[in-house]
Amino acid sequence: MIELIPAIDIIEGKCVRLTQGDYDQKKVYNENPVEVAKQFEAHGVKRLHVVDLDGAKAQHIVNYNILEKITHQTSLTVDFGGGLKTAKDLEIAFECGAEMITGGSIAVKNPEIFERWIIKYGNEKIILGADVKDKKIAVSGWKENTDKELFPFLKEYIQKGISKVICTDISKDGMLEGPSTELYKEILEAFPSLFLIASGGISSMQDIDSLNEAKIPAVIFGKAIYEGKISLKEIENFIK
């Protein structure tokens, strides 16, 4: 059964969503991310994906106080990302209750640092973020495209011990037009032992059903909930 992981993206302490990573296309959905997290928990959700968008912009952790409130006021397992660049950033994230952190840009720009994190914390706590456009890795909040091909990039990090990957198709993110199911199938064919977390484009429970049928281990989704395309009751029924 596919694991459902709602996302909470944070700017200035508020729950927001961007469209295709564009800060100019920001929409605030709730002033209180902690209340949002509690609603998810009340409907059977066990895990949450929290992104510090201010941190991603500032290149260091910013909204750690929100992370701490979520982890102290719920029993949700939280994976946290956004602007984690130094050992100190990781310490703060883990001290504030994150069970796992996601590293994306740093895995491309500073692989030595990211590899040290994998060695120090282990592959249960370190998730590789692979944001892709046309099967090439994008970094820095998707503002920079690279010439790194997705499949060799994944292979390299799997060989270095990574076992969990969040793969976001940038072209789909925030568009509510359905996920890149074929891409995810391709990834799992190449790397069958990978715990692959699909992200981007989820528009309905049908999308989640199709990923489940394709045996994708987990899915992150956000805008579909906040725009009312997926209800909390549907999530609860699916989990049951």
- Coil, helix or strand at residue 209: helix
For 87-112, b where at least 16 C-beta lie within 10 A, e where not — what string?
eebbebbeebbbbbbbbbbbbbeeee
CA 174 to chain centre: 13
106 sits in which H/E element: helix 105-109
Distances (CA, A) of 37 to 30, 66, 91: 11, 11, 22
**The one-letter amino acid at 176:** L
Rg over CA atoms, the chain: 16
| Other residues' Cβ atoms within 10 Å of the Cβ of residue 189 | 8
Contact 138, 131 (CB under 8 A): yes
Asked whether the CA dihedral 24, 168, 143, 176 is positive or negative, the reply is negative
Catalytic residue check, 79: no
Distance CA 132, CA 146 (A): 10
Query: Residue 186 carries which side chain, given as an amino acid letter?
Result: E
Q: Which of the following is catalytic: 54, 89, 131, 173? A: 131
Whether 52 is a known active-site residue: answer: no
Closest CA to 98 of 74, 122, 119, 125: 125
Catalytic annotation, residues? 9, 131
